[in-house]
Amino acid sequence: MSINVYLKKRGEISIFLVGILLLFTLYACSEDSPSSEEEQPTLSIPSDQLSWDLGYEAQSVEVVFSCNAEWSVSVDDASSSWLGVTPSKGNAGEYTLSISVSENTDKDSRTGTVTVSSRELSKEISFTQSGFETTLSIPSDQLSWNLGYEAQSVEVNLSCNAEWSVSVDDASSAWLSVTPAEGDAGQHTLSVSVAENTSGESRTGTVTVSAGEESKEISLTQSGFDTTLDIPSSQLSWNLGYETQSVEVNLSCNAEWSVSVDAASSSWLSVSPSKGGAGQHTLSISVSENTGEESRTGIVTVSSGEVSKKISLTQSGRIFQPEIGGPEDMPVEEWK
């Protein structure tokens, strides 16, 4: 009887010990094994943010992602000079990456990769940036100019995204000049100076604006010199008495001019000044007394280049009258 009780108690003790050992084993396993979430890490980035096609300009893009563990970001070595990311690491949660992209100053496109990693998971974000494309713009209505012969200047608006320079064709450099002659990217206004065309022939010059492989030509055609000589029509013809006198004639001319008097009238007509330059002038024409009974006509000619104006002056003859106080009924006899 006592032996049975002993064996029974010993069996219970063994079961108890086995139970304790099992509890310790389960506890140890629970310490060493990850949770169910850690066994299944997650890393999510929207599919439409995994690939980017960008222009050459400097810019930044945002990528939203979520992760349930620590994470970090890396950029492939070949792209680290033009791609940057912030933040570069973090803990579980939702984040927005700001990815900065430098300007591509090369004409060839380039591709880079940003990798987001969390434990054994990773996502690649690819970036393709187009090569630099020079843009040079001048309004179409400022690419061609038709100008008068006068000295003048015109303004041309220029927009460019790179350094630019201006040149004038050799044949026109004597009468065309441009400021500024060069500049950086941005909005600019060119001032094109045009010298007076003293020739009777028209002329054409070309101003070329260049930036990289792009260029724009500005054509300027200037008419030949056109002499203008103006005298009021009311001052082109004069009817004068026989007395000594002078008359004034207003003259407007855009070139040098001179005055001449026809030879038959030079003894009783004179003009001052006899020549002058471009501008407004007043001629003073002196007329001597006509001591003869017959009227007389003289011509003053104002000339400038191939243009001329004639001023006609007709002076009446002297009239002889009987002395005042003579007999009113004095007979007039025929001269014999």
Res 34: pLDDT = 47
Q: What are phi and psi of 155, to 5 degrees?
A: -110, 135
What angle is formed at CA 218 by the lines to CA 213 and CA 219, rounded to 5 degrees? 135
Which residues, listed in sequence order, are joined to residue 203 by a DSSP beta bridge?
A: 222
Residue type for position 242:
Y
CB 86 within 8 A of CB 116: no
Res 277: pLDDT = 95
Res 251: pLDDT = 97
Task: Give dist(CA 44, CA 116) in Å, integer.
Answer: 10
Task: Give dist(CA 147, CA 137) in Å, integer.
Answer: 23
pLDDT in tens, the chain (336 residues): 544 544 455 556 555 555 565 555 545 444 444 444 456 899 999 999 999 999 999 999 999 999 999 999 999 999 999 999 999 999 999 999 999 999 999 999 999 999 999 999 999 999 999 999 999 999 999 999 999 999 999 999 999 999 999 999 999 999 999 999 999 999 999 999 999 999 989 999 999 999 999 999 999 999 999 999 999 999 999 999 999 999 999 999 999 999 999 999 999 999 999 999 999 999 999 999 999 999 999 999 999 988 999 999 999 999 876 666 555 555 555 554
* Residues in CB range of 334: below 8 A, 6 or more apart: none
Res 7: pLDDT = 45
pTM value is 0.61
Res 126: pLDDT = 98
